[in-house]
């Protein structure tokens, strides 16, 4: 998301992997090259990667959902991303080395003898630390950039080139082709689309206005239209009040939130500040006192891994959808 850092629904979201479906073994296409479109440019990989290192929870779980833990040399992520022992990919987390509880470094990657780094801009790749695909290429290490994080050229830092769920599907297709698990990737995508279509079909006629609160007291950090929460909210039957922001994750002013008058606030749960403390702050923050979400205490919590590009996104859509239907059935504010 940025530089700082199970339920039946989740089981449905991984129907093609860990919940009883047949899966194929990764292809051993030794010696053959694959060309993919990643962040709008063609990238050629000379061989199937065998020692992949990933950064953060959503990226790591994309690999696990595709059954590619045997292709991984390790992952990096802070230990504030929830209880990983209860997710469908527990076996992957048990099997793959946890290289760092901070962000990836060149030292991590070299020590792991990585041949591919799967990360994203502000999800691991960062120019101020010299940890970029270009720097890794000089070390003979390939990279794949998370599509949600692709820079779009509007500013030096703005990110996002397609709707967030399309970014998820694009990465599944690309990884499926690269690792020879196209059928598994296609099945996951089909299952995700079916689950989300079922939620959309039950969406309320009146779409509640929703604000995503990630962090920040002086100024809130939130989601524009290219981060996963935007389409999670819309697929669930709501409308992201920051949909007009042509960026993924960004900081805004509280006056903007008040002006957009959200009926529901979704809290992103992670980090040193608990969801309960974030909720207490929102309920006591004077500028928000007349906002409908605060007046009616309509605050819904989702985990960090639900709200970044990951195989948990469809489950998040289903859970938020049930909440928004209940809100929409109530009186208008």
What is the reported pLDDT for 81?
Answer: 83
Please report which confidence band the pLDDT of residue 234 belongs to, taking 50, 70 and 90 as the band edges.
very high
Please report which confidence band the pLDDT of residue 10 belongs to, taking 50, 70 and 90 as the band edges.
very low
Residues 13 and 311: beta-carbon distance below 8 Å? yes
Place of tokens 């051993």: 28
Say which range, 27-31, 111-115, 225-229, has the weakest mean pLDDT.
27-31
Residues 6+ apart with CB under 8 A from 211: 222, 240, 241, 242, 257, 260, 262, 264, 265, 266, 293
Average pLDDT over residues 126-152: 96
What is the reported pLDDT for 1?
Answer: 54
More confident position, 4 or 132:
132
Q: What are phi and psi of 144, to 5 degrees?
A: -135, 130
Burial class, 283, CB count within 10 angstroms (exposed 0-12 / middle 13-18 / buried 19+):
middle
What is the reported pLDDT for 83?
Answer: 80
CATH of domain 8-195: 3.40.50.1980
Residues 203 and 236: beta-carbon distance below 8 Å? yes
Distance of alpha carbon 303 from the chain centroid: 10
Q: Could you give the angle at which helices 164-179 and 228-235 cross, rounded to 10 degrees?
A: 110
As annotated, the residues of the chain forming the CATH 3.40.50.1980 domain(s) are: 8-195, 203-329
Query: Tens of pLDDT along 141-198?
Result: 999 999 999 998 888 788 999 999 999 999 999 999 999 999 999 999 999 999 999 9
Q: Which long-range contacts (CB under 8 A, 24 or more apart) does 320-323 make?
A: 320/232, 320/233, 320/236, 320/238, 320/266, 321/199, 321/202, 321/203, 321/235, 321/236, 321/237, 323/236, 323/264
3.40.50.300, 3.40.50.1950, 3.40.50.1820, 3.40.50.1980: which CATH number matches 203-329? 3.40.50.1980
Query: Tens of pLDDT along 194-216?
Result: 999 999 999 999 999 999 999 99
Half-sphere exposure of 242 (CA within 13 A, CB side): 30
Query: How far is residue 186's CA from residue 175's CA, in Å, rounded to a whole number?
Result: 11
Query: Tens of pLDDT along 48-98?
Result: 999 999 999 999 999 999 999 999 999 999 988 878 888 899 999 999 999
């Amino acid at each position: 998301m940025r530089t700082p850092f199970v339920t039946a629904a989740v089981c449905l979201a991984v129907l093609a992997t860990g919940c009883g479906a047949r899966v194929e073994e990764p292809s051993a296409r030794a010696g053959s090259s694959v060309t993919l479109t990643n962040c709008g440019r063609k990238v050629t990989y000379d061989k199937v990667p065998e020692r992949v290192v990933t950064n953060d929870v959503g990226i790591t779980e994309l690999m696990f959902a595709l059954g590619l833990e045997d292709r991984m040399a390790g992952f990096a992520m802070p230990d504030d991303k929830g209880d990983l022992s209860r997710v469908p990919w527990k076996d992957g987390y048990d099997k793959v080395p946890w290289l760092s509880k901070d962000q990836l470094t060149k030292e991590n990657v070299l020590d792991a003898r990585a041949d591919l780094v799967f990360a994203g801009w502000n999800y691991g790749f960062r120019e101020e630390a010299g940890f970029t695909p270009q720097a890794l290429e000089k070390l003979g290490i390939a990279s794949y950039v998370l599509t949600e994080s692709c820079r779009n050229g509007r500013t030096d830092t703005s990110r996002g080139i397609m709707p967030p769920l399309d970014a998820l599907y694009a990465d599944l297709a690309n990884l499926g082709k690269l690792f020879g698990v196209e059928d598994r990737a296609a099945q996951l995508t089909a299952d995700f689309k079916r689950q989300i279509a079922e939620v959309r079909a039950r969406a309320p006629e009146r779409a509640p206005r929703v604000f995503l609160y990630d962090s920040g007291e002086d100024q809130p950090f939130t989601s524009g239209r290219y981060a996963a929460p935007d389409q999670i909210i819309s697929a669930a039957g709501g409308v992201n009040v920051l949909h007009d922001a042509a960026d993924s994750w960004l900081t805004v002013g509280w006056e903007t939130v008040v002006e957009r008058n959200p009926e529901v606030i979704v809290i992103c749960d992670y980090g040193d500040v608990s969801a309960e403390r974030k909720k207490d702050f929102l309920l006591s923050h004077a500028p928000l006192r007349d906002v409908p979400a605060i007046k009616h205490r309509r605050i819904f919590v989702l985990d960090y891994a639900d709200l970044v590009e990951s195989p948990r996104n469809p489950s998040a859509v289903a859970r938020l959808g049930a909440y928004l239907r209940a809100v929409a059935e109530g009186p208008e504010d």
